[in-house]
Chains A and B, each alone.
Chain A
Amino acid sequence: DVKVTQSSRYLVKRTGEKVFLECVQDMDHENMFWYRQDPGLGLRLIYFSYDVKMKEKGDIPEGYSVSREKKERFSLILESASTNQTSMYLCASSGSIVNTIYFGEGSWLTVV
């Protein structure tokens, strides 16, 4: 079974803090994604990566950056957390068949 592991399930951070959300997948997938999920808005794509050191902006990249130094790891960075970034963050990965993506369990971030 594909496993996508997000290192932190629940985090509480202060406004202005730098926040790192880590994600690791174990299936040698080329493609990795970060989504944000908010009630009534569904899943919105923040960034994605189709190869090591490659990244592309999604629909809502403002306030976020990403890092993919190794194929299995994709990190989401909030340079200066703000309260409107309180949300659930979902990491996902896929092989060449992009229509099937595998999600991690999610990281619930609260910024106070």
Chain B
Amino acid sequence: GQSLEQPSEVTAVEGAIVQINCTYQTSGFYGLSWYQQHDGGAPTFLSYNGLDGLEETGRFSSFLSRSDSYGYLLLQELQMKDSASYFCAVRDLERSNDYKLSFGAGTTVTVRA
């Protein structure tokens, strides 16, 4: 099985930097992903880390340390539109040709003016 832990909510002001941590426990591990979901909308893919290190996509970056079973999503230069829920997810390969993508409970980010 697998479990993921992430903070339930974070509040910050416009222009600030927010880091959302995610720790995981899985029986097998094939990468950590991040998804964004605005209120009433569907989750959308943000980033993926298969190997240790930092992946940067514009204002968002994601980091993975497999030895620590830990990753984070970094939101820089926060904008009001970044107010949303953010989910970490792990791919947990149980057999050679199937898998599950399991999600954390989500972190609600509120950006204030």
CB of B101 within 8 A of CB of A33, answer yes
Interface mask (B78-109 → A, CB under 8 Å = 1, otherwise 0): 00000000010101000001111111111000
CB of B97 within 8 A of CB of A50, answer yes
A74 CB within 8 Å of chain B: no
**Residues from chain B with Cβ under 8 Å of A94 in the complex:** 101
What is the interface of chain B mostly: helix, strand, loop, or mixed? strand
Most chain B CB within 10 A, of A35, A98, A105, is at A98
**Residues from chain B with Cβ under 8 Å of A58 in the complex:** 100
CB of B42 within 8 A of CB of A43, answer no
B41 CB within 8 Å of chain A: yes
A50-B94 Cα distance, complex, nearest whole Å = 13
**Residues from chain A with Cβ under 8 Å of B19 in the complex:** none
CB of A103 within 8 A of CB of B91, answer no
Interface residues, chain B, with chain A CB atoms under 8 Å away: 8, 30-31, 33, 41-45, 48, 50, 87, 89, 91, 97-106
Interface residues, chain A, with chain B CB atoms under 8 Å away: 33, 35, 40-45, 48, 50, 56, 58-59, 90, 94, 98-106
